[in-house]
Amino acid sequence: MKTHNPNAHAQPYLTPGALTEYIKRKFDNDPHLQQVHVVGEISNYRPRATHQYFSLKDERAVINVVMFKSAFSKVKFKLEDGMKVRAIGRVSVFEKSGQYQLYIDHLEPDGIGSLYLAFEQIKEKFLKAGLFDLPKKPIPKYPQNIAVITSESGSVIHDIRTTLYRRNPLVQYHLFPTKVQGDDAPDLIIEQFKNIEKQTERYDLVILARGGGSIEDLWAFNNEALAMEIINCSLPVITSIGHETDTTLADLVSDCRAATPTAAAEIATTPLNDILLQLSNAAYHLTSTLNHQISQYNQKLQHIQQHPLFTQRDQLLAPYLQRLDMANERLSISSQLRYQNEVAKLEQYRYRLQSQSVQQMMQQSGIRLKQYCQLMDTTFNNIIKLKTQKMTGLKQIITAYDPNQYLQRGYAMVLSEGQVVTSIQQVAQEQRLNIQLKDGYLDVEVKSILSQDEK
């Protein structure tokens, strides 16, 4: 009977590493696996600072996913668990674990564009923060200088310049040129806002404008940092981004949105003819008002002039003039009499001076002065005596009510937290109290409380 020799035609055994390496080469050399399109639901997503690792799943299977930083930086929307996405990438094997993985190069939401989803996510963030509900700065009605942020070439600045000159050639504008498209456009626009902010006293408002384009072309105006710069700008900001149907984050946070650059310039200015017409109407109304007031004042003046005080002045003043003449006459007589009396007094004084010597007068005056001094001394002494008696009485009253006097006589004062205790209702058992004596304090504890009836 023929026996089986297990060593005959023996095949070499492979290590797990060798087998995994062979399978990986198969995956990497298969052209069908170098670019695959997969639709699935995100699972196990945890944001990382560099590369991203998560899963795509459906009801039948789960695939591990790797997305390197260079590819993930191009994703404009925020990934969330449960979000259905479309992925393009290649399939390979991670040798260390022996698992096959999908290495994604491009990712977008399933059903809507990635930029649109990113825009909606940013809108939702600003809406929850209340940034769309902030009060808008009013647009000045008669600006003199306007700062314009846009490209220095193209139809936008031409339309703004033409419209400003057509409506009001007196309005000045200053162009702050910038890129309005591309990855570096938001930073450049923000830089121009900061330049304007350094010289706000020169400008009345800001126009931020760009012509039409796709959502990719207008994406710079959906930048969060740029939106915050517009909100924080101390000057009113008018935006005109894209066509009338286009709405960007910058439009939503600005103080006023215009459909076109031309409309923005129209909103920013009042036509010179309208201003002149307003001034003319104001001058007409002012002249009419002044003429009406002058007419009223003339009527009042005529009415006043017809008052008897003016028409019958002599008749009204006659009694007063007669009384004035009589008063003058009495004053003259009185003055003469007073003069005669004063002359008579002087004669008496002269006679008295002649009849008495100066020495006698000085003696009499000295006596009177001495009497006055004695009277003053007596009066002051009486006042001081009364005040001293009053102060002594007050001191006795204060001394009588001084708690220390009671302490000196053997009494004590009970204190609780600095407050005087006057009743057993103010204390409780085991409460700590301070007792003040004449020479110090006692710290005691209440053991029992007895009322007057229980004593």
Give the helix/strand (H/E) hosting 420: strand 419-420
Res 271 pLDDT > 80 = yes
| Distance separating alpha carbons of residues 166 and 156, to the nearest angstrom | 15
Q: What is the pLDDT of residues 54-103, one digit of tens each?
A: 999 888 998 999 999 999 998 888 888 778 888 999 999 998 888 999 99
Between 7 and 416, residue with greater pLDDT: 416
Q: How confident is the model at residue 413 (pLDDT cuts 50, 70, 90)?
A: confident
Q: Could you tell me what percent of the chain has a pLDDT over 90?
A: 36
| Distance separating alpha carbons of residues 158 and 258, to the nearest angstrom | 16
Kindly state the average pLDDT of the residues 105-109. Answer: 89
The pTM assigned to this predicted structure is: 0.48
Q: What is the pLDDT of residue 273?
A: 86
Fold classification of 139-270 (topology level) = Rossmann fold (3.40.50)
Q: How confident is the model at residue 3 (pLDDT cuts 50, 70, 90)?
A: low
Q: What is the pLDDT of residue 17?
A: 87
Q: What is the pLDDT of residues 220-240, one digit of tens each?
A: 999 999 999 999 999 999 999
Res 119 pLDDT > 70 = yes
Fold classification of 16-110 (topology level) = OB fold (Dihydrolipoamide Acetyltransferase, E2P) (2.40.50)
Res 426 pLDDT > 70 = yes
* Residues in a beta bridge with 444: 433
| Distance separating alpha carbons of residues 284 and 278, to the nearest angstrom | 10
Give the helix/strand (H/E) hosting 257: strand 256-257
Q: What is the pLDDT of residues 15-59, one digit of tens each?
A: 998 898 888 898 888 888 999 999 988 888 899 989 999 999 888
Res 165 pLDDT > 60 = yes
Q: What is the pLDDT of residue 42?
A: 86
Q: How confident is the model at residue 279 (pLDDT cuts 50, 70, 90)?
A: confident
> Is 240 in contact with 259 (CB distance < 8 Å)?
yes
Between 24 and 400, residue with greater pLDDT: 24
3-state DSSP assignment of residue 30: coil
Tally of CA atoms within 13 A in the half-sphere of 70 that contains its CB? 2
Res 2 pLDDT > 60 = no
Residues sharing a CB contact under 8 Å with residue 209, sequence separation 6 or more, in sequence order: 148, 149, 150, 156, 157, 160, 239, 240, 241, 261, 264
- Of 194-198, 308-312, 337-341, which gets the smallest average pLDDT? 308-312
Q: What is the pLDDT of residue 358?
A: 62
